[in-house]
Each structure stands twice: as structure tokens, then as C-alpha cells.
Chains A and B, each alone.
Chain A
Amino acid sequence: GAVVSQHPSRVICKSGTSVKIECRSLDFQATTMFWYRQFPKQSLMLMATSNEGSKATYEQGVEKDKFLINHASLTLSTLTVTSAHPEDSSFYICSARDSVNYGYTFGSGTRLTVV
């Protein structure tokens, strides 16, 4: 089945630094990828939708200058949390939509802790 690889699984960074999270579709092409944020015991909140080769579309209330999304190829999207602060600590999850066989596959998530 479709597999999405997300790295790193856990990252701890100092306040003010930037962190990059990678999301790769391993066996299918993903023209569209999604980035979610999940707080403990809560649902997934969509942050942005990225289409290969174009700018990401951010959900209302999400700072596009803080959460930089790049989707340069059909198999790779990255989320960079810039100037991270403790309130950015969360579980970040990516999802890729198979452009041939309609379906959404999720990565295993990245636990970001900002200290």
C-alpha cells in the first residue's frame, strides 16, 4: 500500500531556532500534500495544503511566514517552523494524496518540543 515517510519522528530545539520536517511519498506521486497540527487529546487541525510546484494555501489563522512549506517535487514536501517558540510545541503530521489512486495517506508524525 501507499507509504508516507515523515522525519524526524521527534525533535527538540531551542527557542528562536528553526526546524525542518520532511514528508516523502515512497511509492506514489503526490501532487497534493497536507500539513496538520495536533495538540494532546485533540483532533487534527489542517494548517496548509501544498500543491507541487506552487505556493501553499494556508488555513485561516496559520502564519505563513512562520510555517514555511515547500513542495518542490511530486514526492517531497517540507515544513519549516521558523523562530520556534514553546507554544509551537506540538505533534505535526503530513498527509499525501495519491494523484492516481484517490486516497490520503498519513505520515507517522513529528513530535516537536521547543525549550
Chain B
Amino acid sequence: GNSVTQMEGPVTLSEEAFLTINCTYTATGYPSLFWYVQYPGEGLQLLLKATKADDKGSNKGFEATYRKETTSFHLEKGSVQVSDSAVYFCARLRDDKIIFGKGTRLHILP
């Protein structure tokens, strides 16, 4: 089965709301973890990453902390903007390949 599970979308929020997109993973050891973002009509972009337990990745106001106790890597942002509307993918590294979750579509309303 899929070794990355993320919350299903779509998620619809108003501008300036707090965002959490949950992600959990299954793994032996401590793989690198990633959040990728796909804006409408564009390719996948790396949003942030964490390479070891307790690391916090951050970028563009987004944060995610590598939690080995809960095997989680939840994505958070304190105040979302309309421009954050996109599809977000949680992912992990396995044997040099990236394993992606199914993606969570985020809509931010003005």
C-alpha cells in the first residue's frame, strides 16, 4: 500500500485562516520527507523538506516538523492567502525514489 497518507481534499478556507494538512508515513528508519506544491497550470515545486527526526522545514510561511513518534509531517501555515490555492503533496524518499501521497487540493477564498 501507499506509504504516505494525507488528508483528502478539497480544503476550502477563507483568506488569513490557519491551515493544517495532515500527513503520516510508514517507513523503516528515518527517510527524508517533503511537501511539494502544484499551482494551477504549473509543475511540481518543492515547498519544504526535512531530512531527520525533529527537523522543521519551512518556506513561504509554511512549516512542517518531522515527528518520528507519530510518524507525521503535517503542513501548517498561520495565515493563508488566495495565492496559496494549489494542490499539496506530502512525500517521502524510499530507495532513491519519491513516494507521493494522493495530494490535497486547497482553495482559499478572498
| Mutual binders A and B | no
- A residues with a Cβ closer than 8 A to B are none
